[in-house]
Structure formats: C-alpha cells, structure tokens
Chains A and B, each alone.
Chain A
Amino acid sequence: MHEEEIIESLCNKFPFLNCRIYLQKEKRIITKPLLREEFEEVIRFAHDELGFYRASHVVGTDDGENLGLLYILSDHENILLALRESVPKTNPVIKSVSDMYLSIILHERELVDLFGVIVEGLPEGPHYPLPDGWPKGSYPMRKEWDPRYFNKDTMTYEGPQEEKQSE
C-alpha cells in the first residue's frame, strides 16, 4: 500500500483525520495532535487493518500546557506513520498500546519516568530509565525541569518553582 492509499484509508475510516494528517515526504505520514479516544481508534486500525506491525518508538514532547506523544509505527514497506496524541499536563493519562505492540513497553516506561505520563494498562516491571530513589514528581524531560536544581548526592530536586505533579 502506498502512502496516498494509507492516508485515504485512514481519512475514509476516520473523517476527523481530514486536514489533520499529511504526507511530510516519501515514507513519512504524520498526524496533527489527536484526542485520546481518536488516537486509540486510529492506532488500532493502523495495526489491525493497515499492516503497521512495528512500533519503532514513542517521542515525548513538552508542548507547554500539554504533553505530546508521537507514536512512530512502520509497515512492511518501511513507511513510517507517526500518530500524535496530546494530553494536558494536569491530567497526563494515556492508554498503553502494549497489547498490540509488545516492543513499546520500554518506551512507555520512559514516558512515565521522564515526562510523568500515567500509562494505563502498562504491564508491571522495573522502571526505566531513571535510577532507584529518583525523587517522586520530578520529570527531567519536562522543560521546567532544570538540572542545576538537582542534587545527585541527596537525590533531591528543589527547583525554583516546585511543580506539584498529578500522580
């Protein structure tokens, strides 16, 4: 299936994707931010019907008031489909896609540690990649996190404006 056909299939199935999905270049299809429910429907369809068998990784981004989560999938033609989900920092809850993509577990754990995302349905296991004893509620890949305020000897973070993250 070519890129145009993939976009057409997705737009036919999900009219809300019209004007929110685009071909960036050959083998690169990217969506604009999707709501949680929209994202879950689209990624399941891409996996079950369009042959996007591999989830290469997830890119977490700090978009100000929201957190962006770019899931990068690929198919047998090595076409990359990047689906973007956006959740508010005040309630950063997403649903794990590890039931479809086993390989995504490590990447979703990374979202938990580095961005403070709450991933529902993520199988139990060791956290990744931060060390044991890392201060709770301290998410280093968020823009407001400043390494100058982290004391690695006491493993404490006392930033200028302590952010109280939702658990």
Chain B
Amino acid sequence: MSEKNNNNIVFPIGPQHPSLDEPSCFNITLEGEKVINAVIGVGYNHRGLEKTCESKTYIQDLYIIERVCGICSHAHSTAFCMAIEELTGVSIPKRAEYIRVIVAELERLHSHLLWLGVACHEIGFDTMFMYTWRNREKVLDILASVGGNRVNYGVNTIGGVRRDLDESINADILKTMDALEEEIKYYADVATTETTLISRLKGIGRLSHEDVIKFGAVGPVARAAGVEDDIRVTEPYGAYKEIPVHIVTDTNADVYGRTVVRIFEMQESINIIRFCINNLPDGPLTVRTPRRVPAGEVIARVEAPRGEDIHYIRSNGTDIPDRVRVRAPTEANWHGVKHMLEGGYLADVPITIAAIDPCYSCTDRATIVKSESGIRDMDWRAMRQYGIDWYKKQGIDLTVFKR
C-alpha cells in the first residue's frame, strides 16, 4: 500500500510485484508521476552460500558456487576454479581453456537474449520477447548437449573441464551460430531503426560516464556510457589471452545504450565462439590438482554477462576454504539504480531496473508437478501439451493457430 508523506506519495514496489522477476523492494517517493527518491531494499535471496562454503571441501564448493546464479553459473564456477588453480600453482590444458571460453560465450548469448526478451516485455513489445526467447532456446539446446543441462552445466572442474566437444557438437554449434547471426542482425536493425523502440528507451535511466565512475558500475551498464571496461580485454584470462575480443561501447548512457551494447556483444560472442572452434587445440581436459590447497589468498575475476565477477578465496592449507567471498556484477550495479530512477517517471521504473539485468534465478525446463497421484516429471513436450489442454479447458483452442 502506498503512503502519503507531505504532498508526496511513497510507493512500494516489491518485494513481490509483477514487474519484478525476483524479490527486492524499491520504496519510490513520487511527486505526481515523477520519482524524487528511491530506497532500494535487497537481501531477500540471501542463502548463506559463503558460510556453507566454509564447511565443505573445494570440490563440493564448486557445485555450490555454480548455483550462486542460474544464468551466469559458468562465470562463477570459472572464477572459483581460476582462484583455486592459482593457489595450487596449476596451469590447465589449452583445450580446457578454449572449452571454458566457448561455454562462457554461449552463456553470454543466452543471458543477453534472455535480457532482451525481458526488456521488450517490460515495454510491451511482446513479439520481440517471443522472438528472442525462441532463439535463446537454440543456445540452451547447445548448452544442454555440451553439459547435459540448460543451466548449471557442470562443465568446469578444478584443473580443467569435465566435458569435451566432439566434431558433431562443434558442427552443431557452428550451424546454430550461423542461424543466430542472421537473427541478431535483425535485432540490430530493429534496435537502430525502429522509432517506437528508440523513443521508448532513449533518455530513460541515464547513468553518465561520470556517474559510472562515481557509482562503480560494471559490464554493459558501464560500456553503454562509453567506459571501456571488460575484463576479457583489460585482464585477459585463460584462452582470452589468445582470442581477439573487441569491447562494444555506446555513448547514449541510458537504457537504449544498454540495449545496443548487449545486441552487438552477441555478435562479438559469435565471433569468439567461431574462433575457438576453428582453433580448438587437441590434448587432455584436466590436470591433477592437490586436494589440499596451500595456504594463501587470491582474487580472481572474470567478465560475466552482467559485468565483472570477483571471487576472493583464502585457504588455510586444508581441503576446506577459510573464506569465500563472491562479488557478483549486479552487486556493483545496484548503487547506480537509485540515481537512474530519481528524476524519472513511475512508468519507467520497471524497464530502468531491468536494464541493469539484475540476476534472476532460472530453473531447469523439466518441472515437477505435485498431484494427488503423486509427483511426476514432465518433459518439454508433455509440458507444452499440458499448456494446450489447460487453455482448451478455459475455452481457448491454441491448435487453431497451426491451421
């Protein structure tokens, strides 16, 4: 419920709200339709993962770390593995480095496609939402064929990777990249020429170059304001040391700029994936690493889809870490959101919040349905049929669209 404060209205958005895909609370003070103050409340998803890591072995922690985020799970596990490998003085095989990059860029593609769909949905452009999510399925199918799952692929392990890429998967990836490239060209065309989209996004949620510096924003939010900040280039790690990566920037410094950056970054990801597959070295996937990690501390960082992801690990010489600290990119971008919202309008709040791409949880496509007859698994085909049948009961026959 909103409350009146002098002549202003304090309007709570969240922790549960249709425009938020995860729990967080924004107390927005309004003067008419204008936002004059925003108080951000986060922490609803705190699960105590860092504390849990202090009671498990490094290899067990890897699976916990991968579940910090459903979307950029590979980025987190890569940073964690890099930190342990540095502490143990291990260099992973070249083939493993390249596979890590391929999966990382596939993850960036699916994350950006997901974001583009959500952003279009927030502004009522649901056709684009459907298009992008349809294309995201192609990327998720590849990730499922590589790692056996659509999210939390389990590709990384300490000392290398657990999954190999054979000729047939590589051919599939290249074929999908060709198809996806055409789609992304279309999205780029829409984003740069479609006047309704441009007018809806331009000037919204501004965070200037100076503000990015002031608030410490990272990732596409920073690059959309012309800040050339990308760990893949500024501190290349793994195979990125050998791969040409171009930083995509924009100067609009608003939601439109963030959209353009993400669309063109997808093209860049496709180029990187092609380079990796065409230059994939032969050799082993892992090297042996000691279970006990020598005492020490390390700060590892990678460029996740949302920006710089930092992992701090302190070891005490045992097989259990003394301290694990994860700084996800969204944590760095929250500070700028308050500034983006203030001075804007209430109707722009959802798209402004969505534009930093806050970390959403993601679930596997298989769902478990509880019924009187017990619990049963449902695959994609069965779930689709369930949806069609459910709507039919409501008097809507979706099968007519086939005809």
Contacts and interface: CB of A to CB of B under 8 A. Distances in A.
**Chain B associates with chain A:** yes
B41 interface: yes
A117 interface: no
B314 interface: yes
Interface in B265-314: 297-299, 308, 310, 312, 314
A59 B323 contact: yes
Residue among A59, A77, A80 having the largest count of chain B Cβ atoms under 10 Å: A59
Interface string A70-108: 101000011010100000000000000000011101110
A45 interface: no
A160 interface: no
A78 B39 contact: no
B347 interface: no
B335 A128 contact: no
B48 A140 contact: yes
Given A56-B308, A70-B312, A103-B216, A128 B323 contact: no
A56 B307 CA distance: 12
A131 B41 CA distance: 11
Interface stretch (B70-78, B90-98, B136-144, B324-332): B324-332
B51 A141 contact: yes
Contacts of A61: 314, 322-323
Contacts of B312: 59, 70, 72
Contacts of A128: 42-43
Contacts of A30: 297
Residue among A28, A61, A103 having the largest count of chain B Cβ atoms under 10 Å: A103
Given A78-B229, A78-B235, A129 B213 contact: no
A56 B39 contact: no
Interface in B329-350: 331-332, 334-335
A26 B298 CA distance: 12
Given A59-B312, A147-B48, A105 B41 contact: no
A141 B312 CA distance: 15
Contacts of B41: 126
Interface of B: 39, 41-43, 46, 48, 50-51, 86, 213-216, 229, 231, 234-235, 297-299, 308, 310, 312, 314, 322-323, 325, 327, 331-332, 334-335
21 contacts: A27-B235, A30-B297, A56-B216, A56-B308, A57-B325, A59-B312, A61-B314, A61-B323, A78-B231, A80-B299, A82-B299, A101-B216, A102-B214, A103-B215, A103-B335, A105-B335, A106-B331, A128-B42, A128-B43, A131-B46, A147-B48
